[in-house]
């Protein structure tokens, strides 16, 4: 168990809908990262938050947004969902914002039908 909690584990929804994925980092970790793993594009970095502030953006679509709350949990919001958004979405956390080891949650499997 990495100590990073992601909910829900599975999510099935329809095109055009909006969903929210939740991540609770390890106790004491200030950084949260979101990654997408899809069959087409492999693993891609989406976004990084550190202590409530956005630090870096990767290949995140404009239909996607994220935030980190004062209690350090993070949410990834996906809207106007398309079939191609079906993927495994990982959250990872680390103590600070450097090159420490990342600890990954078990992911949320999103299926858009």
Partner 1 sequence: AQTVTQSQPEMSVQEAETVTLSCTYDTSESNYYLFWYKQPPSRQMILVIRQEAYKQQNATENRFSVNFQKAAKSFSLKISDSQLGDTAMYFCAFMKDSNYQLIWGAGTKLIIKP
Options 60-68, 69-77, 79-87, 92-100: segment touching partner 1 (CB under 8 A)? 92-100
Query: Which position among 27, 71, 83, 101 is part of the footprint of partner 1 (CB under 8 A)?
Result: 101
Query: Which position among 10, 14, 28, 42 is part of the footprint of partner 1 (CB under 8 A)?
Result: 42
Nearer to partner 1, 61 or 88 (CB): 88
Options 14-22, 70-78, 79-87, 94-102: segment touching partner 1 (CB under 8 A)? 94-102
6 backbone dihedrals φ, ψ, rounded to 5°:
-120, 135
Options 15-23, 48-56, 67-75, 77-85: segment touching partner 1 (CB under 8 A)? 48-56
Structure token pair of residue 25: 């980092």
Structure token pair of residue 86: 């079906």
When asked if residue 10 is in the footprint of partner 1 (CB under 8 A), the reply is: no
Characterize the bridge pairing of strands 108-112 and 10-13. parallel
| Sequence-ordered list of residues with C-beta below 8 angstroms from that of 9, at least 6 positions apart, any chain | 106, 107, 108, 109
CA 69 – CA 39 distance, rounded (Å):
31
């Amino acid at each position: 168990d990495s100590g990073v909690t992601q909910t829900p584990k599975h999510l099935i929804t329809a095109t055009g809908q909006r969903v929210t994925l939740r991540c609770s980092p390890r106790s004491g970790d200030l950084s949260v990262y979101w990654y997408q793993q899809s069959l087409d594009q492999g693993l891609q970095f989406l976004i990084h938050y550190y202590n409530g502030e956005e630090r870096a953006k990767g290949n995140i679509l404009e239909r996607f947004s994220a935030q980190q709350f004062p209690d350090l949990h993070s949410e990834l919001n996906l809207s106007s969902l398309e079939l191609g958004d079906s993927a495994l979405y990982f959250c990872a956390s680390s103590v600070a914002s450097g090159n420490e080891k990342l600890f990954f949650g078990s992911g949320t499997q999103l299926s858009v039908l």
